Amino acid sequence: MTNPFRTLKAGNRMQQVSEVVNSWNEWDPLEEIVVGSADGANFEPTEPGNRPQIRNAPPGTPFPSGPKSAEAVDRANEELAGLVSLLESEGVRVRRPAPHDFSQSVRTPDFEAANQYCAVCPRDVMITIGNEIIEAPMSRRSRYFEFQPYRELVYEYWNADPRVVWTTAPKPSMADKMYRDGFWDWPLAERHERMHSFEFCVTQDEVVFDAADMSRFGRDIVVQESMTTNRAGISWLKRHLEPKGFRVRPVHFPLDFFPSHIDCTFVPLRPGLVLTNPDRPLREGEEKLFLANDWELVDAPEPTTGNDEMPEFCQSSKWLSMNVLSIGPNKVICEQQEKPLQELLYKLDFEVFPVPFRNVFEYGGSLHCATWDVRRVGAGEDYFPNSDYQPLA
């Protein structure tokens, strides 16, 4: 086995980083990435952690079940292939998930799910933090085994460099008791009343998080408390990452009543600049860390899809518009029809690469969700030298 590493400058110190797995933030120059695939995708089943609905259908209309149509899969795969071509033309090595039978049911001692979902969104499951790959526990039953299509790749990376660390976070039971009864039926007024308590469909008793609730800022990992990440999940991340020198910073967006994954809400584009969601401001006070460290928070423009124009089976919000993928500190891939966002990015001195991606939306994400970056050129910098971080006691 070789022992591949390179030495890079991180602030005023030198740091050895792996040549195989190395990614500390969302914007360093990209070298290797996994792009999802719609092959074998199924409709997401109704379960305690998810109540999918057909957009604009009368209440009670049943959501489809079983495999997605071949046409829908082909349409999404064509756009994913377009992203692959673009990335390769920029010199990025692209990897893909292994085939997986998502029509298989899942049965554990604690639950059953009629089928699984898809491998379109590796971001939800997998995260690279420095030289470490973490597989998230996940929050939904149909996604319990979603790490499987990435295992061959993980073994390849792990075998290629002894510096690579691989962690699977503890799996929660996903038993009925892990979920809060009634959450999906709360009337809007009740959600409004409860919006500052951040209580969602998962309870606080077991470790729950999806990887896509984290955003990487070098030594700082910003993590959203949401329907898919609870406080026990954030505690686990703190206990796991703090001894390695990371600071885990919980954030909250009280006006998002169904928060799931931070990458349509708070999207760092380069050091000192975060794209923010005007409908989902940070909890009062949480902006101070960013402002005290000279970060600028810039609101994304209104998406070009109103909520009504999103694909009928898409469970995500119109803010998939801001789910961009950075391939360098001044290079951003953006959905082709999102002209207002592209204009903003040009004004902010980015090189913008538009690609069509709307047919991927019904699989739960756009460009950031549909990818998992494995290697970027860069080291673990401190972008928040000015802070009073409270580590776990």
Residue ranges in contact with ligand ABU by CB under 6 A? 260-261, 264, 316-317, 319, 364-365, 369
261 as an active site residue: the answer is yes
Q: Which is nearer to ligand ABU, 48 or 365 (CB)?
A: 365
- Burial (CB < 10 A; 0-12, 13-18, 19+), residue 3, is exposed
What 8-state DSSP symbol labels residue 259? -
Residues 282/274, Cβ–Cβ less than 8 Å: no
**What gap in Å lies between CA 382 and CA 246, rounded to an integer?**
9
Q: Which is nearer to ligand ABU, 44 or 220 (CB)?
A: 44
Give residues with Cβ within 8 angstroms of 304, minimum separation 6: 321, 337, 338, 339, 340
**What gap in Å lies between CA 41 and CA 100, rounded to an integer?**
9
Tell me how many degrees the CA angle 385-386-387 measures, rounded to the nearest 5: 105
Q: Which is nearer to ligand ABU, 250 or 378 (CB)?
A: 250
Residue with tokens 């209580």: 199
Q: Which is nearer to ligand ABU, 40 or 365 (CB)?
A: 365
Tell me which of 124, 261, 368, 373 is the catalytic residue.
261
Q: Which is nearer to ligand ABU, 141 or 280 (CB)?
A: 280
210 as an active site residue: the answer is yes
Residues 385/293, Cβ–Cβ less than 8 Å: yes
Residue length of the chain: 393
Alpha-carbon distances, residue 237 vs 112, 136, 201, 234, 311 (angstroms): 27, 10, 20, 5, 34
Q: Which is nearer to ligand ABU, 21 or 208 (CB)?
A: 208
**What gap in Å lies between CA 231 and CA 224, rounded to an integer?**
10
Q: Checking phi first, is residue 198 left (phi over 0); if not, alpha (psi -120 to 50) or beta?
A: left
- Closest C-alpha among 93, 169, 81, 150 to residue 327: 93
Residues 133/166, Cβ–Cβ less than 8 Å: yes
Q: How far is the CB of 257 from ligand ABU (least distance, A)?
A: 11
Q: Which is nearer to ligand ABU, 218 or 364 (CB)?
A: 364
Q: Tokens in use for 339?
A: 């002209």
Tell me which of 28, 161, 210, 373 is the catalytic residue.
210
**356 alpha-carbon distance from chain centroid:** 20
100 as an active site residue: the answer is no
Q: How far is the CB of 228 from ligand ABU (least distance, A)?
A: 9
Active site residues: 210, 261, 369
